[in-house]
Structure 1
């Protein structure tokens, strides 16, 4: 049983290849989780670290999709805490994935934008390409290339 964070910041539960979302907390203190696939009937109850199945799924688990979801969550966490370039974060996240799981990941450009947005939201310093230097002057970011020319990239 592993807890995942969805794109919208909600907590999901990964258990035996199925992904669940929190449905409600019962009076007894148990949590009722239901399958994230909308028309599916799978439901489990969680009390502490103990899971009990309430109803069976009417579909088979997809371990590749579960691995891809877990990989994306780890990519977001790493992007929020690391100052590494997006390419390195993406490659290291995909390193131990099976080809079936890699095929289910979003396109490289989407993953790259996710890493850049997550780092920007967390206020991490911007990583510059080799041979450049970043300067901040009057709430505007400038880069200085090898040729000594300065170009305005964007306003902060």
Structure 2
């Protein structure tokens, strides 16, 4: 299984490793400590420590992995990333991101309308940022 870091809805990093999802707990210059996202709800004590590309399981979980949720998060993240650089329509991007996704993950994916709204929001943010950069470059300070 792959290890990826995906941003949550609130832009907090989440580690997806071996079917488990972790929230960042602590970070210093060399290593980052991650705590299972089910820590508060299921009292799971699962932890992982990462340093660069290496991830080590530090404590065991009291539940099984959920690779389907990791796949859903990966697809959603890829969709948002492609939306920030593509000029295709929101629906086309959403349909393209769903290609090759497993049946159980498709069941858990957001509705098509929600995906289109997320893509449209990414496009608006991209155009707003480029406009802001453009204004910054053309602005001349009065003497």
- TM-score w.r.t. the length of structure 2 is 0.79
Could you list the per-position Cα deviations for residues 47-69 of structure 1 after superposition, in whole angstroms to 9, with x for gaps in the alignment? 22222211111111111111001
Higher radius of gyration, 1 or 2: 1
Structure 2 unmatched runs, 5+: 129-143
Q: How many residues align?
A: 123
Structure 1 unmatched runs, 5+: 125-156
Are the aligned partners of 1:6 and 1:73 in contact in 2 as well (CA < 8 Å)?
no
- TM-score w.r.t. the length of structure 1 is 0.73
Q: Higher relative contact order by CA 8 Å / sep ≥ 6: 1 or 2? A: 2
The structure in which a higher percent of residues are strand is 1
The structure in which a higher percent of residues are helix is 2
Aligned counterparts of 1:78 and 1:65: Cα–Cα separation in 2: 20
Aligned counterparts of 1:48 and 1:117: Cα–Cα separation in 2: 31
1:107-122 to 2 correspondence within 5 Å? 107-122=111-126
Question: Hey, what does 1:5 align to over in structure 2?
Answer: 7
Secondary structure of 2:9's partner?
coil
Aligned counterparts of 2:78 and 2:100: Cα–Cα separation in 1: 12
